[in-house]
Amino acid sequence: MDFGVVLPHNEIGSDPQAIKAFAQGAEELGAKQILIYDHVLGADPDRPGGFSGPYDKDVAFHEPFTTFSFIAAVTETIELVTAVLILPQRQTALVAKQVAELAILSNNRYRLGIGTGWNEVEYEALNIEFAHRGSRQEEQVELLRLLWKEDSLDYTGKYHRINKASIKPRPSEPVPIWFGGTAPVLLKRCARIGDGWLPLMGANAAAKKAIDLLKAERAACGKKWEGFRITAQAQYAGGSPERWKKHAESWQALGATNISVATHNAGPTDVDGHLRRVEEYFKVVR
């Protein structure tokens, strides 16, 4: 099992040198992946009817494609993973173009982790219907893969029309697509058309049930389980060496191929402090 890191999105700040130092430091510590979360907009809680959610307008998120392009230029080996990009609220052809360029500039280190999201405020602002995000996501995955390989595409779907057009340059290798989420319909979609799963949960009975469903669905579709990747997350905050080790061992027993540690929400610190937390975690779980 490999280990990675999560960009401390709300604590890293906006200094390019800090982002560079964190990415390079994580790579030097042997991190296999760096995960970036995604939100385009944060809602203002001071609104008619109020607002309740894990994030609002005061929580910072760095735009994944731009940030990963920067990180790709200052690193050499670490994989770049969106965990997760809210795909249905974006224009698919534009995402295909952005992903292709990032794959090229990173020497095929980018992994497209996608989700459907929960924040209706974002969907409204981006002019996409929230209710159809699941079915839109499935069609988007099909279209992305076609745009990455076809020289000229004539495509008609429920949500998209490509009239004899294409993108160029295209990736030299297939870009892995991983799904986040735990709903049964999402897990089945992940098993059928995904290359991996990005759970945001503990290594518990619910996780085992989800993995069993993934395995069963892949078998039913005639797809191999071998090569399917599971990237879990660990929290430094509230943990201890004993808890981190037990958590990692439990995920490994379930079949996880990577765990990425999040070092934010554990008290004030700077980049060096975040990297010390990563180093401490790595020493325990490796």
Digitized pLDDT (tens) for each residue of the chain, 286 residues in all: 999 999 999 999 999 999 999 999 999 999 999 999 999 999 999 999 999 899 999 999 999 999 999 999 999 999 999 999 999 999 999 999 999 999 999 999 999 999 999 999 999 999 999 999 999 999 999 999 999 999 999 999 999 999 999 999 999 999 999 999 999 999 999 999 999 999 999 999 999 999 999 999 999 999 999 999 999 999 999 999 999 999 999 999 999 999 999 999 999 999 999 999 999 999 999 9
* Torsion sign across C-alpha atoms 69, 71, 72, 77: negative
What is the Cα–Cα distance from 233 to 4, expressed in whole angstroms?
9
The pLDDT value recorded for residue 222 is: 97
The pTM for the full model equals 0.96
What's the number of domains the chain is made of? 1
For 281, which DSSP code?
Answer: H
> Which stretch of DSSP H or E encloses residue 75?
none
User: Which domain does 59 fall in, by range?
Assistant: 2-285
Place of tokens 């799904």: 179
**123 half-sphere exposure, CB direction, 13 A CA radius:** 16
Place of tokens 């203002």: 44
Contact predicate 106/68, CB 8 Å: yes
CATH number, residue 166: 3.20.20.30
Q: Which of 206, 218, 192 is nearest to 251 (CA)?
A: 206
Q: What is the DSSP string of 147-206?
A: HTT-SSEEEE-SS-EEEEE--SS--SSPPPEEEE---HHHHHHHHHH-SEEE--S-SSHH
